Amino acid sequence: MRTISRRDFIKLGVASAAVMAVESQLNPIAYAAEQLIEGGRSVNRTSGLPRSFLPSTCMQCPAGCGIIGYVEESHLVKIGGNTKNLSNQGTLCARGQAGINAVYDPERLLKPLKRVGARGDGRESGAWEEIEWDQAMEEVTGALTSLKSEGGSRKLVFLTEDRFEDDLGTRFTHAFGSPNAIGSLSVFGSNKAVANQITWGADGDMPDVANSKFILVFGANPLESNPQYVGMARRFINGLSSNQAKVVVFDVRLTNTSMMSNQLHYVNPGTMGLLILTMANVIMQEGLFKRSFIEKWTNITPEELAGNLTQYTPERAEAETGVEAAVIRATATEFATTEPATTFTDATLSSHISGVQNERAAMLLSIITGNIDLRGGLCLPRKFDLVEPEPAPPVPAPSALSNPPQFPLASQQVGVGTFKQIKDLVEPVGVLITHGVNPVYSNPDGGMVEDVLRDETLIPYHVAITPFFTETAEYADIILPETTYLEDYNIEVRSSPELVPMVGLRQPVIQPLKETRSFYDIATELATKVGGGMEKYFDFSSVDEYLAARISRIDGLTQIGGLDYLKQHGAWYDPRSRPDYGAYQKAGFNTPSGKIEVKSQQLAEVGAPILPTYQPLTFMGQLSERDMVLTIYDTALQTDAYTANCMWLSEILHDNPVWINPKTAEEMGIEDGDTVKLTRPSNVGEAKERSVTTTAYLTEGIHPKVVAMANGVGHTAFGRIAQAETIPYKEPPKVLRDPNTELVWWSERGIYKGKGVNPKPIVPISLDPVGGGEAWNDMVVTVAKL
Amino acid sequence: MIDQGPRDAGQARELAKARAALYRLLSRVFVAKPTEELLRGLKDKEMLDALAAYEVVFGPDFIAAAEEQQARELAVEYTRLFFGPGPHIAPFESVFVRGEGEDRPRLWGQATVEVANFYREAGLEMAEGVTPDHLSLEFEAMAALAQAEADKRVEGDAESAEQLLAMQDRFCREHLLRWVPALCREVDRSSESSFYRNMALLAQNQVRTQCGENDLIC
Ligand code: SF4
């Protein structure tokens, strides 16, 4: 115990105050003392108004974090994190907080719109007329009813949004009699899911990074973008800070993740598969593998595997991947001798024509070292199953659109190819419904998607259900203004990064704005009006009945109140449950052999290599001096086509200059800030658009043969913030004047200014022959100064 | 001899003010690298004397060094100590304190959630994007409560002031005291810089004082 006199203490206070008075750079940690009150009541800092709060789930990206909406006088004033959601535990990213911008987007659609001009004309063109809901529903019902009465039920195509668990859209489509409820996963990365499914019988993985001692990252970037984003980033940082895990990253770009790692090694584009298999070879040759695990839990012997891998020598890998043989040996050895260790991949490694092979190769490293589903290893995903409420509509026989026959293993569907199939007349379309998706922006070869959507012989009738006037909604015949995720209900389940299954609820934190309607209301009303038997699948007394049925088999939850509990707390997981590592030891893996299928009979049946194999990209050898590989990367600030009209986000990220290595730039005579044109060589695939123009950003943070652009900006519709326009629409069609839109300061093009450009339309549709997912990262361009 | 409390309302007010200022300083020191002004301020005669009362003593090397150079060196030290790369001290309560049911301390774990809940109960609002249990934020919370207490004492609302003082004591006991001494040890072990070792010591001493483990006498 120490003593200090009050007088001295007060002196210390005075001196401290004096220091703080001259301290010019006081970092604005901005801890604002709210009006101090007792008892947990929240009030507004300035007005003193009471605030209510309601838990819900964020949908600004697929992660589904728990949020709390703070409401004052029916107005949503703030979105905070819900500490009861096991995944994010109170953390949110910028997009989650910017959800307010989405609800109060001044350009939100608040009344149904009917097209009176030509397809594809913009909102301000006079091509659109506001109509009443009654009329809108009547017209859509008319189109669906006549399709049905002509026996053309199967001609309904419903493009659903995977970001929302769009099971209601699927239910609607099946109830109508069409198999064609098509998700968008293959646009964003189904190759990984297919590879995981084939190999260990689950369509994903969950690296237990918080408990790992060595994390080997291949092209993934959990600190900026990941399907479980905030929850996974939290655990990743956890592993680094409280577990002092070592992290080694192989990538073509300096990401936020690689900045927090111990090592970053650039890899020649397209050669990651070779690098990984070489590490596997080193581990086998050096005898560092776990014999007992391989023998017991895989369908291959160590000898057979080792024999097959000998072709991948570190010397060959050094020549092709650009990573020194010594680094490959050392990393492989450290990975195999550190316990526990895990690999970490996301959709980038598998967004290649050989994507399934690449992902299987990465899994192999965790498999041969026995780091499977153990604490700190590569774990199976854990997720609650939801119930399809009875009566469940029968699933109509598959069509070439719902299950393209050339991809029998791609159970996740191949929506990325749907528009090409429609163009090639594979199946006729009567009515197209797009719900939430924006393929004109999101898909490769968006120009072709536009052509198909414009063509009334290919798409006779197009209904867009969306809160926003997107690039795709421009090609609708009728637009039904949907609520945003903050005014709607749904049950949300995700694989939890905490490895304990969890269920979340999305509920309206405010009432639907103006005349917007929830998807549940729209689908139910349409089903009832169309009738012909489909109405019985939508015969719920209320949305509550539907939601309660969805969670009726989650026992622990139903015991404590089910839906009522979720409405109060926003999320539920069994507080007693702990990760059940190694559960496979009882039940085996969900594969035909019950083991991990390193050798895959399923792959043999579709004529693909049975063992993880490196398939060099055909174009790699043929790259000319000027050819570069383009990678389109995701950030933590914009989610593909969905967030750019949020002021708070676009203010930070609105432009996407192309990253070029200074050495490469010098050879090409390009300087920082130059206007450059990226062009796809004429012999690389087919897409309507061939080039994009942007600004050069020179940085050592990129491999010399790679150029990179951020995804999520460069809109041609959606709104003035997304499009960086300060000029109000001529004759504003009831668009509110809004202080945010007046503040768009980046309209003029310049360095870090301008609205950016969407490079995806120049990418040809190019699919992994097994996974059916787009090979985004095989894109070759030439770069030239304009 | 244990002394029973401040002699009069005036002194209670001055003590609250002093606490607010000291917590603000501590919050500042751990939130970012020091500026030249901050270093100059700490070397002020009055400050050095006041610190000595807490047995926080800077050597002649520290006092004589040119602030410009010193600020540059301490910027590197700050990053190395608290950010890495490599082994570092993450200044979050949840890195030091294991929650009930947690097998080991977890960054943004149970401790973080408890701290966030305390802020909410106390009516304190965080800025967007900050982590509740960062050392700086916890000190900032103490500063806000102490300042509110001082304000109430100025208004003559002794009852509210006492409540606010009790909240400081509680937060300090339930949170800061659980981990600041351990953090102080780590800094002592890992830093060559007298600046961070002394500041950690100051933090520890003040936390002990607030919790009644050090004696405040007249
Ligand atoms: S990661 Fe961000 S955008 Fe995605 S759900 Fe969580 S808060 Fe929302």
Residue-wise DSSP of A212-245:
-SEEEEES-BTTTB-TTHHHHHHHHHHHHHTS--
Instruction: Provide the residue range defining the domain that includes B28.
Output: 17-210
Residues of B in contact with A89 (CB under 8 A): 108-109, 112-113
Confidence at residue A740, expressed as pLDDT on a 0 to 100 scale: 67
- Would you tell me which residues 17-36 of chain A have a C-beta closer than 8 angstroms to some C-beta of chain B? 17-20, 22-36
Judge if the upstream peptide bond of residue B87 is cis by omega within 30 degrees of 0: no
Lowest mean pLDDT among A76-90, A168-182, A463-477, A511-525: A76-90
Asked if the model's pLDDT at residue A699 lies above 80, the reply is yes
Q: B217 lies in a domain?
A: no
Beta strands in A524-660, from DSSP E residues, in sequence order: 571-572, 627-633, 658-660
Q: B10 lies in a domain?
A: no
Ligand 1 in reach of A61 Cβ (< 6 A): yes
Asked if the model's pLDDT at residue A496 lies above 80, the reply is yes
C-alpha distances (whole Å) from A174 to each of A135, A185, A315, A468 are 25, 19, 54, 26
Distance from CA of A648 to the nearest CA of B (A): 12
* C-alpha closest to that of A513 among A105, A160, A117, A138: A105
- Would you tell me which residues 151-170 of chain A have a C-beta closer than 8 angstroms to some C-beta of chain B? none
Tell me the pTM.
0.81
Ligand 1 atom index nearest CA of A60: 3
Nearest C-alpha in B relative to A34: B124
Asked if the model's pLDDT at residue A733 lies above 70, the reply is no
Of A16, A31, A91, the CB nearest to B144: A31
Lowest mean pLDDT among A126-130, A150-154, A377-381, A428-432: A126-130
C-alpha distances (whole Å) from A499 to each of A374, A379, A381, A702, B110 are 11, 8, 7, 34, 17
The number of domains in chain B is 1
Instruction: Provide the β-strand partners of residue A344.
Output: A217
- Would you tell me which residues 45-74 of chain A have a C-beta closer than 8 angstroms to some C-beta of chain B? 45
Residues of A in contact with B32 (CB under 8 A): 25, 27
Q: Quick check: A5 and B217 CB within 8 A?
A: yes
Confidence at residue B55, expressed as pLDDT on a 0 to 100 scale: 85
Q: Which domains does chain A have, with CATH numbers?
A: 1-40 (no CATH), 113-188+389-485+516-561 (3.40.50.740), 203-379 (3.40.228.10), 618-785 (2.40.40.20)
Nearest C-alpha in B relative to A575: B101
Report CA(A339)–ligand 1 centroid distance (Å).
31
Ligand 1 atom index nearest CA of A228: 1
H or E segment and range at residue A82: none
Asked if the model's pLDDT at residue A620 lies above 70, the reply is no
Asked if the model's pLDDT at residue A28 lies above 60, the reply is no
Higher pLDDT, B108 or A45: B108
Residues of B in contact with A2 (CB under 8 A): 54-55, 205, 208-209, 214-215
Confidence at residue A35, expressed as pLDDT on a 0 to 100 scale: 36
Q: B3 lies in a domain?
A: no
Tokens of A46: 């300035």
Q: Which of B24, B27, B81 to mutate to test the interface with A (most CBs of A within 10 A)?
A: B24
Residue B47 to residue B143: CA distance in whole angstroms: 19
- Ligand 1, atom 6, lies closest to the CA of A65
- Which residues lie below 8 Å from residue A191, measured CB to CB, with a gap of 6+? A347, A350, A351, A352, A355, A356, A359, A768, A770, A771, A772, A773
- Would you tell me which residues 223-242 of chain A have a C-beta closer than 8 angstroms to some C-beta of chain B? 234, 237-238, 240-242
Ligand 1 in reach of A102 Cβ (< 6 A): no
Residues of A in contact with B217 (CB under 8 A): 3-6
Confidence of residue A45 (pLDDT cuts 50, 70, 90): low
Q: B12 lies in a domain?
A: no
Ligand 1 atom index nearest CA of A95: 3
pLDDT in tens, A342-356: 999 999 999 999 999
- Would you tell me which residues 339-358 of chain A have a C-beta closer than 8 angstroms to some C-beta of chain B? none
Report CA(A59)–ligand 1 centroid distance (Å).
7
Judge if the upstream peptide bond of residue B85 is cis by omega within 30 degrees of 0: yes
Confidence at residue A4, expressed as pLDDT on a 0 to 100 scale: 81
Distance from CA of B38 to the nearest CA of A (A): 5
- CATH number assigned to the domain comprising residue B32: 1.10.3480.10
Write down the ipTM of this complex: 0.91
Confidence at residue A206, expressed as pLDDT on a 0 to 100 scale: 97
What are the b/e assignments for A206-243, b being 16+ CB within 10 Å? bbbbbbbbbbbbbbbbbbbbbbbbbbbbbbbbbbbbbb
Tokens of A368: 């041969």
pLDDT in tens, A51-60: 788 999 999 9
Lowest mean pLDDT among A14-18, A697-701, B178-182: A14-18
Higher pLDDT, A22 or A405: A405
- Would you tell me which residues 251-310 of chain A have a C-beta closer than 8 angstroms to some C-beta of chain B? 260-262
Q: Which of A26, A29, A209, A223 to mutate to test the interface with B (most CBs of B within 10 A)?
A: A29
Confidence of residue A185 (pLDDT cuts 50, 70, 90): confident
H or E segment and range at residue A139: helix A133-149
Q: B129 lies in a domain?
A: yes
Q: B82 lies in a domain?
A: yes
Neighbours of A528 (CB within 10 A): 15
Confidence of residue A26 (pLDDT cuts 50, 70, 90): very low
Confidence of residue A186 (pLDDT cuts 50, 70, 90): confident
Asked if the model's pLDDT at residue A622 lies above 70, the reply is no
Section A527-543 average pLDDT? 96
Report CA(A496)–ligand 1 centroid distance (Å).
14
Phi, psi for residue A219 in degrees, rounded to 5: 70, 0
Distance from CA of A330 to the nearest CA of B (A): 18
Asked if the model's pLDDT at residue A308 lies above 70, the reply is yes
Lowest mean pLDDT among A352-356, A582-586, A649-653, B189-193: B189-193
Distance from CA of A681 to the nearest CA of B (A): 41
Confidence of residue A626 (pLDDT cuts 50, 70, 90): confident
Neighbours of B12 (CB within 10 A): 20
Nearest C-alpha in A relative to B152: A36
Residue A519 to residue A481: CA distance in whole angstroms: 9
Asked if the model's pLDDT at residue A657 lies above 60, the reply is yes
Q: B58 lies in a domain?
A: yes
Residues of A in contact with B101 (CB under 8 A): 575
DSSP SS3 for B58: coil
Of A5, A39, A244, the CB nearest to B218: A5
Q: Which of A57, A60, A232 to mutate to test the pocket of ligand 1 (most atoms within 8 A of CB)?
A: A60
Asked if the model's pLDDT at residue A409 lies above 70, the reply is yes
Q: Which of B107, B165, B204 to mutate to test the interface with A (most CBs of A within 10 A)?
A: B107
Mean pLDDT score of chain A? 90
Nearest C-alpha in A relative to B45: A15
Section A349-367 average pLDDT? 96
From first to last of its 218 residues, chain B has per-residue pLDDT tens of 344 566 688 889 999 999 999 999 999 899 888 989 899 999 999 999 999 888 899 988 899 999 999 999 999 999 889 987 777 899 999 999 988 777 778 888 889 989 988 887 787 877 766 788 999 999 989 998 999 999 999 988 888 899 999 999 999 999 999 999 999 999 999 888 899 999 999 999 999 999 888 877 76
Q: B69 lies in a domain?
A: yes
